[in-house]
Amino acid sequence: AQTVTQSQPEMSVQEAETVTLSCTYDTSESDYYLFWYKQPPSRQMILVIRQEAYKQQNATENRFSVNFQKAAKSFSLKISDSQLGDAAMYFCAYTSDNTDKLIFGTGTRLQVFP
Partner 1 sequence: NAGVTQTPKFRILKIGQSMTLQCTQDMNHNYMYWYRQDPGMGLKLIYYSVGAGITDKGEVPNGYNVSRSTTEDFPLRLELAAPSQTSVYFCASSYSAQANYEQYFGPGTRLTVT
Do 14 and 82 meet the contact criterion of CB atoms below 8 Å apart?
A: yes
Selected range binding partner 1 among 13-21, 37-45, 61-69, 73-81, rule: CB under 8 A: 37-45
Instruction: Tell whether residue 45 is a contact of partner 1 (CB under 8 A).
Output: yes
Asked whether position 95 contacts partner 1 by CB under 8 A, the answer is yes
| Shortest distance (Å) from residue 15 CB to partner 1 | 26
SS3 of 13-65: the string is EECCCCEEECCEEECCCCCCEEEEEEECCCCCCEEEEEEECCCCCCCEECCEE
Residues in touch with partner 1 (CB under 8 A):
4, 9, 32-33, 42-47, 50, 52, 91, 93, 95-97, 100-102, 104-107
